[in-house]
Amino acid sequence: MQRPRYFTPSEVAAHNTAADFWVSFLGKVCDLSPLMSRYEGDALLLPIMECAGKDISGWFDPKTKDVLKYVDPLTSCVRYYTPRGRFVHVAPAGPRSDWDSDIGEPWWKDRRYEVGLLSAKTRWIRVINTLTSQEQLLQVCAEDSLEEILQRYLPHNSHARSYTWKHRGAILDMKKTLSENGVSDDDSELEQLRLDRDLFLPAILLHFTDDLTEGGGDPALCPR
C-alpha cells in the first residue's frame, strides 16, 4: 500500500477557500472542495466554511468516529451535538419532508475526501547547502522520511538530489525519519529548561556530489 502523506497544520491552513477547502479531524486531512461545490449556496455549509483550514476534531467522538451526540432533555432522544449549527449530512432533529435520508456515507466517513494525515508533531530544521552556503529553515513532519523532507526542500533547490545529506558527519538514510537517523527532537527538554529552541535547531548539511541532474547542473555552477 502507498504510504500516506503527512501534513503540518500550517499546510492545512493554507487551503481556506471554497474552491480549495481543507480541514483536519481525528488525525485525518480532508479536501472538502468537492463538497463545497456540490452543496454551493446551501446554508448547511456555513458551519463548515467557518472552519476552513482548521482542525475540527472537537466535533467528533474519537471512539465512534461519528459526530458527537447527546440526549435531548425534552424528547429523551439521541441527537447530534452541533453547537455551531446543523451542517451537511447531519439529520434534522425531527421528521422533515425536505430531508433525503439516503445520503450514503456522510462526508466525515467518506474516504474519498481524505488526502493524508495530520502530523502529530512538527519539527523545524536548518538545511544548509555547503556549496553555496545558503541556509533554509524548513518545517517538516516528524513522520516524514528524509526523502519526503527532500520533496519539501525541492522548491528551494531543484537539484537537491545531487547532494549527499549529512548530519554531524554521518550520511543520512533517505528512507528513514530524522529520529531514526539519530537526529533527536529536543523540544520537550528545551522547553523544560526554558531555552529558545530556535537557537538549537538541528542542521542538515548538503554536500554536492554530482553536476548531472535531470534539470541540468547545479545553479551555483552555471554561468550567468
- End-of-domain residue from the set 99, 118, 137: 118
Give the other-Cβ count within 10 Å of 212's Cβ.
9
Q: What are phi and psi of 45, to 5 degrees?
A: -80, -20
166 and 99 within one domain? no
- List of residues 6+ apart from 135 with CB closer than 8 A: 126, 127, 128, 129
110: in domain: yes
Closest among 87, 32, 94 to 60, alpha carbons compared: 87
147: in domain: yes
114 and 126 within one domain? no
Instruction: Tally the C-alpha atoms within 13 A of residue 25's C-alpha that lie toward its C-beta.
Output: 26
**Residue 206 in grid coordinates:** 548538503
With cell 465512534, the residue in question is 64
25 and 80 within one domain? yes
59: in domain: yes
105 and 17 within one domain? yes
Q: What is the CATH number of the domain that holds 154?
A: 3.10.20.90
pLDDT tens per residue across span 96-139: 766 666 678 999 999 999 999 999 999 999 999 999 999 999 99
Q: The whole model's pTM is what?
A: 0.85
Q: How many domains, the chain?
A: 2
Q: What is the CATH number of the domain that holds 85?
A: 3.10.120
160: in domain: yes
In angstroms, the CA 154 to CA 161 distance is 9
- List of residues 6+ apart from 110 with CB closer than 8 A: 104
111 and 15 within one domain? yes
1: in domain: no
98 and 30 within one domain? yes
- Average per-residue pLDDT in the chain? 89
141 and 68 within one domain? no
96 and 47 within one domain? yes
184 and 84 within one domain? no
**Residue 213 in grid coordinates:** 541532474
pLDDT tens per residue across span 17-73: 999 999 999 999 999 999 999 999 999 999 999 999 999 999 999 999 999 999 988
Q: How many degrees, rounded to 5, is the angle at CA 36 between CA 35 and CA 39?
A: 80
pLDDT in the model for residue 198: 76
pLDDT tens per residue across span 163-200: 999 999 999 999 999 999 999 888 778 688 787 777 88
Residue type, 107: W
Range of the domain at 99: 6-118
- End-of-domain residue from the set 89, 118, 147: 118
- End-of-domain residue from the set 83, 101, 118: 118
